[in-house]
């Protein structure tokens, strides 16, 4: 008689092989499909990577063009910056000049007025000096003054 141990080992081995064969077949099918997918996707991926590389080359070209144009515009920006600094610094002395002008300006204007209106003996009406002469006493001059002041002149016939 045979011992039960080798018989048990053969039965367990048969069960193991019976269970492993479908699993190994499924792994084989998955690997086969994966290879087919990579074979069809490989050229597509290669084309996509080529297009990405071309786009990167174009972007590099655009970037270098923009850098060159930025170098030509750079003096303009530097000049604008210097102008801004100059305006900022000139604000101090401009403020001082405006303060002095505000203090001295009314005195200068008063001096100019005094210089041009030297005849203090002239009477003023409405801020305008009235010149004394023979004119202004006639009826036509009275009518003109009344018309200018908004009153009607009397009509003498």
Q: Where are the domains of the chain?
A: 8-149
Q: Where are the beta strands (DSSP E) in the chain?
A: 124-125, 128-129
- Cα–Cα distance measured from residue 148 to residue 144, given in angstroms and rounded to the nearest whole number: 6
Per the CB < 8 A criterion, the answer to whether 110 and 117 are in contact is: no
With a cut of 70, list the residues of the chain below it in pLDDT.
1, 119-157
Whole-model pTM? 0.34
Cβ burial, residue 143 (10 Å; 0-12/13-18/19+): middle
The pLDDT value recorded for residue 93 is 77
């Amino acid at each position: 008689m045979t011992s039960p141990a080798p018989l048990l080992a053969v039965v367990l081995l048969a069960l193991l092989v019976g269970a492993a064969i479908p699993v190994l077949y499924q792994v084989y099918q998955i690997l086969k499909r994966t290879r087919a997918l990579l074979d069809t996707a490989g050229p597509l991926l290669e084309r996509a990577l080529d297009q990405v590389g071309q786009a990167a080359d174009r972007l590099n070209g655009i970037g270098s063009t923009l850098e060159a144009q930025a170098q030509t515009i750079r003096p303009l920006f530097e000049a604008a910056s210097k102008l801004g600094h100059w305006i900022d610094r000139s604000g101090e002395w401009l403020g001082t000049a405006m303060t002095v002008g505000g203090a001295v300006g009314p005195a200068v204007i008063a001096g100019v007025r005094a210089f041009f209106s030297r005849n203090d003996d002239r009477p003023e009406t409405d801020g305008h000096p009235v010149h004394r002469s023979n004119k202004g006493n006639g009826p036509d001059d009275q009518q003109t003054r009344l018309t200018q002041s908004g009153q009607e002149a009397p009509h003498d016939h």
